[in-house]
Amino acid sequence: MKETFYITTPIYYPSGRFHIGTSYTTILVDSIKRYKKLRGYDTYMLTGTDEHGQKIENVAKANNESPKEYVDKMANEAKKLWKKLDIEYDDYIQTTEERHEKIVQKIFEKFLNQGDIYKGEYEGWYCEPCEAYFTQTQLVDNKCPDCGREVKKMKEEAYFFNMKKYADRLLKYYNEHPDFIKPKYRKDEMINNFIKPGLEDLCVTRTSFDWGIKVLSDPKHIIYVWLDALTNYITALGYMSDDETLFKKYWPADVHVVAKDIARFHLIYWPIFLMALDLPLPKTIYVHNFIVMKDGKMSKSKGNVIYPEPFIERYGLDAFKYSLLRELPYSQDGIFTPESFVERYNFDLCNDLSNLLNRTISMVNKYFDGVIEKYIDSDNEFTKELESFTLNQIDLFENKIDNFEIANALKEIWAIISKTNKYIDETEPWVLAKTDKKEELKSTMYHLVENLRKIAILIYPFMKDTSLKIFEQLGIKDEKLKTWDSIYKYNIIENIKVIEKGNPIFMRLNFDEEIAYIKSKM
Ligand code: MSP
């Protein structure tokens, strides 16, 4: 039986159009899932929308719609965008679906019955847009520590989850499971900022608005948004329902991918809820940073928000995905600028990748009528070095992607592309063609085609169409030559014929024109 791999995105607030930052997580998750699938895993990807809460109720009202009409419409919009981005999710959960609401109610009653949830009174500083309470010490300049907006003092009867009870267990878990939080520095952040100062109990109900899941045993209370939202990762699999097949198969999740602003909820509250349910914890929670603009965070008021659609329409999906994934470093925010996009397009995609394919195809046509017969071992030092360099890069790529270092993983692939371009200059096929070193020339052509085949396999999870175009232009039809297992071998291509005239897969962009185009879309 295949090993399973369950991966999730956060569920999105359907309060507006998704920009490139919000799309980032989903593109990332989709790429990791495709990679794991290529490696033979039985994969399952979950995404969805987080549809309750005051904010949604307000937006729906302003639109003259019922909250449910509004969230259904927005979920459809989200699905349309994921289709444009070719996101291959396996399930889409809306938290307003019965399959979710019923189970959240059951979970609440269970917590109540086992004494993890108690009734009390809450007074605190409330940030409406973030739907979160903060203590005085958590505020920054008397404003919301997450979004910087005004907070107001509020008091109400509420239920609380007894987080303190689990604090030691959580710490112990962190320490015994070094892979639980990635990158590692996020663990220290949680310990120093939230756990060591003393974990506060979490307010899990509200009475001041309606749009949410009612507490079964006390229906004037609405289950407060994080207990509702986080449980989507298990309700979507049918946990506590009549059919737990998916849950038994895929839980615990292999990885939840989230951005830094929601790290606290995933790294502290979610594991504690799971402990209280007596369920195993996800193997990893990977926290990425933010895609930002030159002038900081994207915001409508700054007028610096970029949406994915204009990029996909003009430059194609693969170029957009590549640049986005490549731009965000593992442990820092990544700055996305029109200039860096066009530069990446011209250098990485056009000069490096597209030209390598073109040069190779034209040489194989010129010297051998487009035919690659069979592997020829070579004493040539450059060829030997190319082989060992490439295999080592594949190893590095695997390490990086298994650690969710996507930008670095892409860098390792591009190192192979650069090395292969350099190999052409080192071996000088045009000189070999003028001598009697025909076998050596054959070996060089073989290695170029072979490396392009490997590159096509490596980029497949991130840039499917480009990968398929490379296979097509190389004349590689046999599915066995496209599998991950075949990537470690150097001698398996036999008798292929490349196309007679290669088509550039990426064409050089005019820098100024494209900057102007992108800016006009901001
Ligand atoms: N509904 C919650 C998540 C609940 S998960 C149980 C939420 N939704 S959100 O729509 O506001 O954000 C969805 C994701 O997009 C979050 O991980 C958020 O941090 C991420 N991003 C929003 N802007 C971003 C960037 N500029 N860059 C990268 N990720 C960004 O939070």
pLDDT in tens, 94-146: 999 999 999 999 999 999 999 999 999 988 898 877 767 788 888 999 999 87
* C-beta 11 within 6 A of ligand 1: yes
pLDDT at 180: 98
pLDDT at 135: 81
* C-beta 25 within 6 A of ligand 1: yes
Determine phi and psi for 177, rounding to 5 degrees.
-130, 80
Q: Binning pLDDT at 50, 70 and 90, where does residue 426 land?
A: very high
Alpha helices in 191-240 (DSSP H): 225-230, 232-235
Question: Do the beta carbons of residue 173 and residue 209 sit within 8 Å?
Answer: no
pLDDT at 272: 98
295: helix, strand or coil: coil
- DSSP strand pairing (4-8 vs 42-49): parallel
Overall average pLDDT of the 354-362 stretch: 98
Q: What is the secondary structure of 139-180 as a DSSP string?
A: -BTTB-TTT--B-EEEEEEEEEE--GGGHHHHHHHHHH-TTS
Taking each helix axis as running N to C, give the angle between helix 438-459 and helix 381-402, from 0 to 180 degrees, rounded to the nearest 10.
10
* C-beta 21 within 6 A of ligand 1: yes
Nearest protein CA to atom 8 of ligand 1, as residue: 12
Ligand 1 atom nearest residue 12's Cα? 10
Structure tokens at 366: 């010129």
> What is the rounded distance in angstroms from the CA atom of residue 476 to the CA atom of residue 488?
17
pLDDT of residue 482 exceeding 80, the answer is yes
> What is the rounded distance in angstroms from the CA atom of residue 508 to the CA atom of residue 346?
5
In a domain, 356, yes or no: yes
Overall average pLDDT of the 470-494 stretch: 97
* C-beta 225 within 6 A of ligand 1: no
Structure tokens at 363: 């040489």
Nearest protein CA to atom 26 of ligand 1, as residue: 21
* C-beta 287 within 6 A of ligand 1: no
Q: What is the secondary structure of 444-484 as a DSSP string?
A: HHHHHHHHHHHHHHHHTTT-HHHHHHHHHHHT---GGGGSS
Question: Do the beta carbons of residue 474 and residue 497 sit within 8 Å?
Answer: no
pLDDT at 499: 96
* C-beta 18 within 6 A of ligand 1: no
In a domain, 89, yes or no: no
Ligand 1 atom nearest residue 18's Cα? 10
Enumerate the β-bridge partners of residue 125.
134, 153
Specify the range with the lowest mean pLDDT, choosing from 256-260, 336-340, 353-357. Answer: 336-340
pLDDT at 303: 82
In a domain, 420, yes or no: yes
Which tens digits make up the pLDDT trace of 150-170?
A: 999 988 899 999 999 999 999
The domain spanning residue 385 has which CATH number? 1.10.730.10
Ligand 1 centroid, distance to 286 Cα (angstroms) = 13
In a domain, 394, yes or no: yes
In a domain, 179, yes or no: no
Overall average pLDDT of the 346-365 stretch: 98
* C-beta 230 within 6 A of ligand 1: yes
pLDDT of residue 55 exceeding 90, the answer is no
- DSSP strand pairing (255-259 vs 4-8): parallel
Overall average pLDDT of the 200-211 stretch: 89
In a domain, 348, yes or no: yes
Handedness of CA 174, 178, 180, 183 (dihedral sign): positive
* C-beta 298 within 6 A of ligand 1: yes
Nearest protein CA to atom 9 of ligand 1, as residue: 12
* Whole-structure pTM value: 0.94
* C-beta 258 within 6 A of ligand 1: yes
> Percent of the chain, pLDDT > 70?
99
Radius of gyration of the chain (CA): 26
Structure tokens at 270: 């979610």
Which tens digits make up the pLDDT trace of 311-324?
A: 999 999 999 999 99
Count the alpha carbons within 13 Å of 417 in the hemisphere toward its beta carbon. Answer: 23
Ligand 1 centroid, distance to 260 Cα (angstroms) = 9
Average pLDDT, the chain: 95
Question: Does residue 129 or residue 500 have the better pLDDT?
Answer: 500
Structure tokens at 211: 């749009």
Overall average pLDDT of the 283-312 stretch: 90
Determine phi and psi for 56, rounding to 5 degrees.
-65, -40
* C-beta 116 within 6 A of ligand 1: no
pLDDT at 209: 81
In a domain, 449, yes or no: yes
> What is the rounded distance in angstroms from the CA atom of residue 27 to the CA atom of residue 232?
20
- DSSP strand pairing (284-288 vs 181-182): parallel
Q: Which domain holds residue 381?
A: 309-497
pLDDT at 190: 97
pLDDT at 17: 87
Ligand 1 centroid, distance to 183 Cα (angstroms) = 18
In a domain, 7, yes or no: no
Residue found by looking up tokens 């506060």 in the block: 200
Ligand 1 atom nearest residue 333's Cα? 27
Split into its structural domains, the chain has a count of 1
Which tens digits make up the pLDDT trace of 58-94?
A: 889 889 999 999 999 999 999 999 999 999 999 999 9
